[in-house]
């Protein structure tokens, strides 16, 4: 099937509109990863080990459904495209469940646990139905190697802006609610309400601004004989040489992002004793650092391959965080410097891994003759979510082993040591593992261009050679 399409030029409206879609993805994602475990332990009163398990179960469920939604998205047929109908269809349920997830009721502990499990699972199901088609749409919005990097850099700006909103506004919203005479529990339900509205607006804007950028229906329809078993499809994707190294690096990056996000909240609250205003300020500054690094990442990817830049950033972040286990985070200055080291690696993850993931689509098409951006996106998202799930479980277990008790005003020294470890040595080691994995990722700009020439020749029935990109196969 010839999927080559001469698309209209990628406009600023398309880039910004697609990027705004990150408010639908990233605000909910970061609200959960920054605050949900803290909300369970310190507001609802659930023990840290159980809270970590609840969060881990929900994210693991999300990882499993990623693959199913990716397969559905690839095989979905509609005159409006494969991706956008799913995105807009889940917008309202996704916003509502975000609100409900942060509503607490006067229930028994068992009922609170059950409620948290059910609502968090529904939340991640809605999240997946939106985000897998959204990410896969990026490979259809443009099929040009360099334009994909540009598109994802625009999206990365909004991604980090959404992160800043999700990380910095909750403490302020809660404090403002308390100042207005509301309870702390009502303050957190206000957080869920406002973030839910941001999610809804982001999805709707993205839906309008990407209209007409999908591949035409005749270029995406999957023939009946091509609809093979989902497990066979997944197996084919993971036989592609670039898949496993990128999946491992993605797992590691998501693990650290999740653990560090939780760690920042716990370290500011329980070690440094910062008030809501200072927490909000630092949770605005540290995510903002990622935006500062994006132009540098963009410049370096034009001179070096995406893989090289990604490897360097993960390696630098890993070594820096490991060193911090000896230095320690002792105040505002050291926390901000820690944030610089962390965000160099973290910003490279969210700017580059999606673009690298899209490039696998052409390797898949060359080898198997099919365009399966949805299942490729879902496969990477699976490892991203497994990384996040593992980090939540490990974080809960580390805090519990240190004797952390969310009902105490002052934590024991062992709990403070545990909090330090989830911000320094553990994420440092994991980043280094991700850096090593990328050594085996074979796609470079030169090889990719050679692949496109051969792919075009193959689809038009002309002679072709794998010379110049054989290492990708």
pLDDT in tens, 79-132: 777 788 889 999 999 999 999 999 988 899 999 999 999 999 999 999 999 998
Q: Is the pLDDT of residue 4 over 50?
A: no
Lowest mean pLDDT among 318-322, 364-368, 407-411, 413-417: 407-411
The answer on pLDDT for 39 being more than 60 is: yes
For the cut 60, the answer to whether the pLDDT of residue 224 exceeds it is: no
Pick from 61-70, 343-352, 421-430 the range whose average pLDDT is largest. Answer: 421-430
More confident residue, 355 or 3: 355
Which among 38, 79, 73 is positioned nearest to 55, based on CA atoms? 38
Per-residue b or e along 418-456, where b marks 16 or more CB atoms closer than 10 Å to that residue's CB? bbbbbbbbbbbebbbebbbbbeebbbbbebbebbbebbe
Q: What band does 209 get if pLDDT is binned at 50, 70 and 90? A: confident
Chain segment 233-253, per-residue pLDDT in tens: 888 888 999 999 999 999 999
pTM of the model: 0.77
Of the pLDDT bands very low, low, confident and very high (cuts 50, 70, 90), residue 215 is low
Tokens of residue 333, six digits: 């200055």
d(CA 55, CA 389): 7
Contacts of 295 (CB under 8 A, 6+ apart): none
Distance CA 416, CA 381 (A): 32
| For helices 230-239 and 243-266, angle between their N-to-C axes, nearest 10 degrees | 100
CB-facing half-sphere around the CA of 93: CA atoms within 13 A: 17
CB 366 within 8 A of CB 454: yes
Taking the C-alpha atoms of residue 399 and residue 193, their distance in angstroms, rounded to an integer, is 29
Structure confidence at residue 105 (pLDDT): 85
pLDDT in tens, 374-417: 788 878 888 988 998 899 899 989 999 999 988 888 899 999 99
Give the 3-state secondary structure of the chain: CCCCCCCCCCCHHHHHHHHHCHHHHHHHHHHHHHHHHHHHHHHHCCCHHHHHHHHHHHHHHHHHHHHHHHHHHHHCCCCCCCCHHHHHHCHHHHHHHHHHHCCCCCCCHHHHHHHHHHHHHHHHHHHHHHHHHHHHHHHHHCCCHHHHHHHHHHHHHHHHHHHHHHHHHHHHHHHHHHHCCCCHHHHHHHHHHHHHHHHHHHHHHHHHHCCCCCCCHHHHCCCHHHCCCHHHHHHHHHHCCCHHHHHHHHHHHHHHHHHHHHHHHHHHHHHCCCCHHHHHHHHHHHHHHHHHHHHHHHHHHHHCCHHHHHHHHHHHHHHHHHHHHHHCCCCHHHHHHHHHHHHHHHHHHHHHHHHHHHHHHHHHHHHHCCCCHHHHHHHHHHHHHHHHHHHHHHHHHHHHHCCCCCCCCCCCHHHHHHHHHCCCHHHHHHHHHHHHHHHHCCCCHHHHHHHHHHHHHHHCCCCCCCCCCHHHC
- pLDDT value of position 7: 58
Task: Read off the pLDDT of residues 253-288 as tens digits, 9 standing for 90 and up.
Answer: 999 999 998 899 899 989 999 988 899 899 889 888
Please give the Cα distance from 53 to 8 (Å, whole number).
47
**Contact by Cβ (8 Å): 270, 406:** no
CB 53 within 8 A of CB 235: no
CB 411 within 8 A of CB 433: no
Residue 262 CB burial class (10 angstroms; 0-12, 13-18, ≥19): buried
Mean pLDDT over residues 220-245, rounded? 73
**Considering the chain, what is the average pLDDT of its residues?**
87
Burial of 117 (0-12, 13-18, 19+ CB in 10 A): middle
């Amino acid at each position: 099937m010839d999927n080559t399409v001469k698309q209209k030029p990628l406009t600023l409206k398309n880039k910004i509109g697609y990027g705004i879609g990150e408010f639908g993805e990233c605000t909910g994602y970061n609200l959960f990863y920054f605050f949900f475990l803290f909300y369970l332990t310190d507001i609802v009163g659930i023990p840290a080990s159980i809270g970590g398990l609840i969060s881990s179960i929900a994210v693991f469920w999300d990882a499993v459904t990623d693959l199913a939604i990716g397969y559905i998205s690839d095989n979905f047929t509609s005159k409006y495209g494969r991706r956008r109908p799913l995105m807009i269809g889940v917008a309202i349920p996704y916003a509502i469940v975000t609100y409900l997830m942060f509503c607490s009721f006067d229930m028994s502990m068992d009922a609170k646990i059950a409620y948290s499990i059910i609502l968090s699972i529904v939340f991640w199901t809605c999240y997946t139905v939106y985000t897998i088609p959204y990410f896969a749409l990026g490979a259809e919005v443009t099929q040009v190697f360099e334009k994909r990097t540009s598109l994802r850099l625009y999206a990365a700006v909004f991604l980090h802006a959404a992160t800043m909103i999700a990380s910095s506004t909750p403490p302020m919203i809660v404090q403002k609610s308390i100042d207005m005479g509301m309870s702390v529990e009502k303050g957190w339900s206000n957080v869920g309400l406002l973030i839910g509205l941001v999610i809804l607006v982001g999805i709707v804007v993205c839906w309008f601004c990407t209209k007409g950028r999908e591949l035409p229906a005749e270029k995406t329809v999957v023939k009946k004989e091509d609809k093979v078993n989902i497990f066979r499809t997944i197996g084919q994707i993971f036989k592609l040489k670039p898949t496993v190294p990128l999946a491992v690096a993605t797992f590691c990056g998501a693990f650290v992002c999740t653990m560090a996000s939780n760690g920042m909240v716990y370290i500011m609250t329980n070690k440094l004793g910062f008030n809501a205003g200072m927490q909000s300020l630092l949770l605005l500054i540290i995510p903002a650092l990622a935006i500062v690094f994006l132009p540098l990442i963009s410049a370096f990817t034009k001179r070096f391959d995406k893989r090289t830049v990604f490897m360097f950033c993960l390696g630098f972040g890993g070594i820096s965080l490991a060193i911090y286990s000896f230095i320690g985070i002792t105040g505002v200055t050291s926390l901000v410097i820690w944030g610089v080291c962390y965000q160099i690696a973290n910003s490279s993850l969210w700017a580059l891994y999606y673009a690298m993931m899209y490039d696998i689509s052409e390797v898949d098409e060359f080898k198997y003759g099919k365009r399966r951006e949805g299942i490729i996106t879902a496969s990477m998202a699976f490892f991203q979510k497994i990384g996040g799930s593992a980090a939540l479980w490990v974080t809960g277990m580390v805090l519990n082993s240190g004797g952390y008790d969310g009902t105490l005003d002052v934590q024991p020294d062992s709990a403070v040591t545990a909090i330090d470890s989830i911000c320094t040595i553990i994420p440092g080691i994991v980043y280094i593992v991700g850096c090593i994995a990328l050594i085996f990722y074979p796609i470079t700009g030169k090889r990719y261009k050679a692949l496109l020439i051969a792919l075009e020749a193959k689809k038009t029935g002309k002679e072709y050679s794998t010379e110049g990109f054989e290492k990708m196969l």
